[in-house]
């Protein structure tokens, strides 16, 4: 546990008095087969230091050669984010010393990024925010340090450190937003929504596996506050180590609460880097940016400029897949949903599941009903995402089909879902093995109805007096007798026919 | 004829006809090294075992009747800045003491493929920073003409090895003149090919935008043979030029300057130039004119800013290139006592591992790249570089090649400039412009200065990828001068007793 002594202002109060300004820098490891400047593989989880060579180890004399596929992926991202693609740009060296940097400089891009000036529309609640993208540039990842011993897990105070250079030289794209204004109390949600939208976009582009838990998508979140109506912006902090969607939201929220308390007490926010602690959702200061090092950027002399020909860029543009926003618009029309329904579906992370369920034959209404209802509840109970449940969209489609055919009622369908989730097999196997089909044999129903009528003369009298609502008691009795396997609507119909 | 006195071309012919074996040639040179290198100190590592093993392999291949490359069986000394599997690579620095690279430089590979015998690794100024080899952490090399004088630098070991008949050929690198200047003061031939014409892969970087590997030989033809063997496109080096190698060997054999337009750079003469150097240079120009060249004077007004621009650009790149020597992965490690943290160990290692000149340039470069100073120093220097390129472009619009002295003075005594960096830097006054422009240049001996009897170099400069012109002019001058002297100039070198 990391304790914090920061004073906080409750969130609602903070955003009432202060206007938050947020900005995000997102690092995405590209899914190229080989590294940015050498031929080493990029496979995640390999034996430490097994995917290295003189180039990515920065051995004396080695030289980088640009991976063309990484350039193409970056252009793809730039185009999908509505950016301008540079006709000529260069790599630059960012100089600083750190043991996981093989050359003690990182090959990056500085004042000549590959893509600039784009935007991404993000749904926040019921409105759409246009997040402006300042730049998308390409660089190499560093190695990964493991600091052993010490209290913080950081290099200072560690007993010793281990470095895995497998990650060194993996192509990394940095996507930087312009400051996002006007989100107000929605700032934390907007930050999360942006990263979510960006993640979905990147996934649809097949440029990265965008797994935050594996570090292939990492965020730095900038937050600042200014008193409402102040007409200027406040000093920002940059929260690093933000490695889940939930953390993006928490990081912004915590910084708003913390900075509001500082400003309330007449203090000032210091331009600094802060670290987010996943366990507490709090941030603690890293190094102060005011005394930050000078990276001494200069054009990388070992590489020639990158000048993507216009026809190549156009080929890449023409080959872009359907992007998430376009797909959502298309599905919304196809499924005849309201904006709110569609947003709910996206926010629940169920859009792809519903689409696949519909593709497997279910009606959009049924698919939505099961994924947003029963299955969302199961996922929530299990503390996981609907997509991670042990049931496939095809199986959900089959259950919906069994229900509309009258083979299952909703209660039986829930029982089937339980069994499928428990690994008991496909819906058809579960129905067969447990005899879960609805009783539709009229003779068996008639017997049960006769018994119910005979056992409840008072209820029968009420119904005959016109109090039709009382029929529920008889239906309940029949359902109990058939252990729930009867079609309740049919039972009701048969009883009323007998008594009226 | 004594094997060590033969040129590479002569050895190549004798080897091809099996008049002599690669093993005999290699052994003869190893014997010569054993006899004189304690006085010359051209080598940091003598590769006796691997050289003899390579020679045996070449002899075996030749016996099977295989057609071998021209340099098969010919010894080559390699500057200790090229990575070599099986041999240490120190760059003349303590910080790399004991490092055995796990990979071969492209040029090392090409030499091996050509069957050339890598006879050892030569001494150099630490990380190629210097003009005398006095900045080597392992002691200076000495000039075979006069052991009390420097052999030039930074590739001084390579130049001294060739001048002392320890190897017929050697490889060096030229960043500000580090091939041509030592070639000039040792009385041999040295070429800086076009930047990008020879691969930098496996050359431990000093200044990436300037570093250019190139050949040393005792004759122009020898230098051309080695030039051709090491050149050509390398996909491992992004700055490598993907074009055919200029026909340097053919040009060296033709040695014909009739009708060529030769421009004398008026800006590379005058104050600071030794009279004997200017005299021999003037003589060489007259000689070329007598051979049918059309000589004119050409002004390159921005050359006077080349030296200061170079001393901003090269140290800037060096400050970044040398950052990797941090004790974490290879080489020297100082102060790792289990209590000090990584940052302290890095600092202690760099404090102890780098020499004074390297530290001076790292500090200079770090300053020049600093925020707030970048535009005034590094940025301005790059603009000067552009102006120098334009000077060359304008000059090459009028003439085919430019000529100047290769150095302002002959070899200076050991210790004379060791404590005066500015005086040391001036040794590269004539050679730096071609490095900044990335074009091609050669130094060829053009006589002895009257004052001190030491060799003078004639520098010929040609446009990028017109390296063949260098050899055409240098070979013509060489032939005409040999006729005048009656013997190779180097035969007058008395440092090792003749």
| Average pLDDT for chain A | 90
DSSP strand pairing (A18-29 vs B294-298): unpaired
Query: How far is B446 from B465, CA to CA, in rounded Å?
Result: 24
Question: How much of chain A exceeds pLDDT 90, in percent?
Answer: 59
Q: What pLDDT, on the 0 to 100 scale, is given for residue A439?
A: 67
**Residue B495 pLDDT more than 80?**
yes
Touching check for A292 and chain B: CB below 8 Å? no
Q: What is the pLDDT of residues A158-193, one digit of tens each?
A: 788 899 999 999 999 999 999 999 999 999 999 999
Residues of chain B with C-beta less than 8 angstroms from the C-beta of A294: 370-371
Judge whether residue A2 has pLDDT over 50.
no
Nearest Cα residue to B110 out of B3, B238, B213: B213
Comparing A285-294, B10-19, B156-165, B273-282, the range with the smallest average pLDDT is A285-294
Q: Rounded mean pLDDT of B17-28?
A: 98
pLDDT band at A1 (very low <50, low <70, confident <90, very high): very low
Give the range among A132-136, A280-284, B50-54 with minimum mean pLDDT. Answer: A280-284
pLDDT tier at A292 (50, 70, 90 boundaries)?
low
Which of A61, A91, A108, A145 to mutate to probe the B interface, most B CBs <10 Å?
A61
One DSSP character per residue, A433-480 reads: HHT-S-B--HHHHHHHHHHHHHH-HHHHHHHHTT-GGGHHHHHHHHHH
Q: Average pLDDT in the B435-447 region?
A: 98
Could you give the ipTM of this predicted complex? Answer: 0.96
Residues A432-457 as b or e (16 or more Cβ within 10 Å = b): eeeebebbeeeeebeebbeebbeebe
Asked whether the beta carbons of residue B341 and residue A156 sit closer than 8 angstroms, the reply is yes
Kindly name the residue from B141, B178, B199, B434 that is annotated as catalytic: B178
Lowest mean pLDDT among A398-402, B78-82, B123-127, B299-303: A398-402
Catalytic-residue membership of B79: yes
pLDDT of residue A411: 83
H helix runs in A319-441, sequence order: 324-335, 339-347, 351-359, 364-372, 374-382, 393-404, 410-421, 427-434
How far apart, in Å, do the first and last CA atoms of chain A sit? Answer: 70
Give A308→chain B minimum CA distance, Å.
16
Answer yes or no: B178 catalytic: yes
Place of tokens 């200790």: B80
Query: A74-88, A372-386, B8-22, B163-177 — which is least confidently predicted?
Result: A372-386
Q: What number of other Cβ atoms are within 10 A of residue A307's Cβ?
A: 11
As given in the structure block, the two tokens for residue B432 are 């730096």
Query: Which of B235, B323, B370 is closest, CB to CB, to A103?
Result: B323
Structure tokens at A132: 């402006």
Is B102 in contact with A59 (Cβ distance < 8 A)?
A: yes
Given A57, A61, A64, which is nearest B202 (Cβ)?
A: A61
What is the three-class DSSP state of A161?
A: strand
Residue B50 pLDDT > 50, yes or no?
yes
Contacts of B72 (CB under 8 A, 6+ apart): B12, B15, B22, B58, B61, B62, B114, B115, B116
Least confident window among A470-474, B3-7, B212-216, B413-417:
A470-474
Give the pLDDT mean for A142-164: 81
- pLDDT-derived band at A107 (thresholds 50, 70, 90) equals very high
The pLDDT of residue B213:
98
Helix (H) or strand (E) holding B352: helix B342-353
Terminus-to-terminus CA distance in chain B, angstroms? 16
CA-nearest residue of chain B to A102? B324
**Using CB atoms, which residue from B102, B235, B323 is nearest to A97?**
B323
- Residue A97 with chain B: CB contacts under 8 Å: 323, 326, 343, 346
Chain B residues in contact with A60 (beta carbon < 8 A): 83, 89, 91, 96, 99, 101, 204-205, 324-325, 330
A228-255 tens-digit pLDDT: 988 889 999 999 979 899 999 999 999 9
Best mutation target, A57, A298, A300, A307, to test chain B (most B CBs within 10 A):
A298
The tokens for A5 are 């002594």
pTM of the model: 0.89
Tell me how many helices (H) and strands (E) chain B has.
16, 11
Residue A433 has a pLDDT of 81
pLDDT at A440: 63
Give the domains, in start order, of chain A with CATH numbers. Answer: 11-316 (no CATH), 322-434 (no CATH), 442-499 (1.10.10.410)
Sign of the torsion formed by the C-alpha atoms of A185, A189, A194 and A195: positive
What digits encode the pLDDT tens for the residues A315-334? 999 999 999 989 999 999 99
Q: Could you check whether the bond before residue B154 is cis, i.e. omega within 30 degrees of 0?
A: yes
Q: Quick: pLDDT tens for A194-205.
A: 999 999 999 999
Pairing of strands B117-122, A127-140: unpaired
Active-site choice (B12, B21, B79, B192): B79
Query: Strands B189-192, B212-217: parallel, antiparallel or unpaired by DSSP?
Result: antiparallel
pLDDT at residue B498 in the model: 58
Domains delineated in chain B: 3-255+441-492 (3.90.1300.10)
Tens of pLDDT, residue by residue over A340-379, are 888 888 878 788 899 999 999 999 999 999 998 889 898 8
CB of B193 closer than 8 Å to CB of B231: yes
The least confident of A116-130, A145-159, B17-31, B304-318 is: A145-159
With CB atoms and an 8 Å threshold, state whether A54 touches B317.
Answer: no
């Amino acid at each position: 546990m990391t304790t914090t002594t920061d004073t906080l202002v409750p969130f609602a109060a903070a955003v009432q008095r202060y206007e938050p300004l947020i900005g995000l820098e997102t690092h995405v490891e590209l899914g190229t087969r080989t590294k940015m400047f050498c031929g080493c593989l990029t496979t995640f989880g390999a034996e430490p230091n097994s995917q290295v060579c003189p180039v990515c180890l920065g051995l004396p004399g080695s030289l980088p050669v640009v991976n063309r596929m990484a350039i193409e992926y970056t252009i793809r991202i730039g185009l999908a984010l509505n950016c301008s693609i540079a006709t000529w740009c260069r790599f630059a060296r960012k100089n600083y010393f750190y043991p996981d940097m093989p050359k003690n400089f990182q090959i990056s891009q500085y004042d000549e990024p590959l893509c600039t000036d784009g935007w991404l529309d993000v749904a926040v609640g019921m409105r759409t925010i246009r997040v402006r993208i300042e730049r998308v540039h390409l660089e190499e990842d560093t190695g990964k340090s493991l600091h052993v011993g010490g209290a913080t897990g950081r290099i200072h105070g560690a007993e010793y450190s281990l470095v895995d250079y497998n990650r060194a030289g993996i192509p990394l794209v940095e996507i930087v937003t312009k400051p996002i204004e006007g989100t107000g109390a929605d700032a934390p949600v907007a930050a999360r929504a942006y990263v979510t939208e960006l993640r979905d976009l990147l996934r649809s582009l097949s440029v990265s596996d965008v797994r935050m838990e594996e570090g292939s998508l990492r965020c730095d979140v900038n937050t600042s506050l200014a008193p409402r109506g102040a007409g200027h912006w406040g000093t920002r902090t940059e929260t690093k180590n933000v490695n889940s969607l939930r953390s993006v939201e928490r990081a912004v929220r915590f910084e708003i609460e913390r900075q509001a308390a500082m400003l309330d007490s007449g203090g000032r926010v210091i331009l600094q880097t802060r670290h987010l602690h996943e366990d507490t959702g709090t941030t603690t200061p890293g190094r102060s940016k005011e005394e930050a090092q000078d990276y001494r950027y200069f054009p990388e002399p070992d590489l020639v400029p990158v000048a993507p020909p216009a026809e190549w860029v156009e080929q890449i543009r023409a080959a872009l897949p359907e992007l998430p926003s376009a797909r959502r618009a298309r599905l919304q029309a196809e499924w005849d949903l309201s904006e709110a329904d569609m947003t709910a579906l996206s926010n629940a992370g169920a859009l792809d599941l519903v689409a696949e369920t519909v593709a497997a034959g279910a009606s959009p209404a049924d698919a939505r009903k099961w994924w947003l209802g029963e299955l969302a509840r199961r996922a929530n109970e299990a503390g996981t995402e609907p997509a991670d449940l042990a049931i496939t969209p095809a199986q959900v489609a089959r259950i919906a089909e069994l229900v509309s055919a009258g083979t299952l009622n909703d209660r039986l369908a829930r029982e089937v879902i339980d069994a499928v989730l428990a690994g008991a097999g496909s819906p058809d196997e579960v129905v067969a093995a447990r005899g879960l089909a609805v009783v539709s044999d009229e003779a068996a129903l008639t017997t049960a109805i006769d018994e119910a009528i005979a056992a409840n003369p008072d209820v029968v009298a009420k119904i005959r007096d016109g109090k039709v609502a009382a029929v529920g008691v008889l239906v309940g009795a029949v359902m109990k007798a058939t252990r729930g396997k009867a079609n309740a609507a049919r039972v009701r119909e048969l009883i009323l026919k007998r008594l009226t | 004829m004594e094997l060590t006195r033969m040129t590479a071309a002569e050895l190549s012919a004798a080897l091809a006809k099996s008049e002599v074996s690669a093993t005999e040639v290699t052994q003869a040179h190893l014997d010569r090294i054993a006899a004189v290198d304690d006085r010359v100190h051209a080598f940091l590592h003598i590769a006796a075992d691997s050289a003899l093993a390579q020679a045996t392999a070449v002899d075996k291949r030749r016996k099977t009747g295989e057609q071998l490359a021209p340099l098969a069986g010919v010894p080559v000394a390699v500057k200790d800045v090229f990575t070599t599997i099986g041999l240490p690579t120190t760059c003349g620095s303590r910080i790399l003491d004991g490092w055995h690279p796990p990979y071969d430089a492209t040029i090392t590979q090409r030499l091996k493929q050509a069957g050339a015998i890598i006879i050892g690794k030569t001494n150099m100024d630490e990380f190629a920073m210097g003009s005398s080899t006095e900045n080597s952490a392992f002691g200076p090399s000495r000039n075979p003409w006069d052991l009390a004088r420097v052999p030039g630098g930074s590739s001084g070991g390579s130049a001294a090895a060739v001048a002392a008949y320890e190897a017929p050929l050697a490889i060096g690198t030229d960043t500000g003149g580090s091939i041509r200047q030592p070639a000039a003061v040792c009385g041999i031939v040295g070429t800086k090919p076009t930047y990008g014409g020879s691969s930098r892969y496996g050359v431990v970087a000093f200044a990436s935008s300037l570093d250019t590997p190139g050949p040393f030989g005792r004759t122009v033809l020898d230098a051309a043979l080695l030039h051709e063997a090491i050149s050509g496109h390398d996909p491992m080096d992004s700055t490598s030029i993907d074009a055919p190698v200029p026909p340097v060997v053919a040009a060296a054999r033709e040695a014909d300057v009739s009708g060529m337009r030769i421009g004398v750079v008026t800006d590379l003469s005058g104050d600071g130039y030794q009279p004997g150097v200017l005299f021999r240079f003037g003589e060489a120009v007259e000689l070329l004119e007598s051979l049918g060249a059309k000589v004119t004077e050409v002004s390159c007004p921005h050359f006077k800013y080349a030296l200061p621009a170079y001393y901003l650009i090269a140290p800037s790149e060096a400050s970044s290139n040398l950052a990797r020597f941090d004790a974490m992965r290879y080489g020297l490690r100082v102060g790792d006592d289990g209590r000090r943290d990584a940052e302290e160990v890095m600092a202690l290692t760099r404090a102890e591992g780098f020499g004074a000149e390297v530290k001076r340039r790292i500090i200079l470069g770090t300053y020049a790249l600093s925020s707030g100073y970048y535009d005034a120093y590094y940025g301005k220097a790059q603009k000067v570089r552009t102006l120098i390129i334009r000077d060359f472009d304008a000059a090459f619009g009028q003439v085919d090649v430019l000529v100047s002295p290769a150095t302002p003075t002959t070899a200076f005594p050991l210790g004379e400039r060791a404590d005066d960096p500015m005086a040391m830097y001036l040794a590269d006054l004539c050679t730096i412009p071609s490095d900044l422009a990335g074009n091609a240049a050669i130094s060829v001996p053009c006589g002895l200065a009257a004052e001190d009897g030491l060799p003078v170099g004639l520098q010929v400069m040609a446009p990028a990828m017109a390296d063949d012109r260098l050899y055409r002019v240098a070979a013509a001058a060489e032939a005409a001068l040999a006729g005048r002297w009656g013997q190779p100039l180097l035969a007058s070198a008395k440092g090792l007793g003749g």
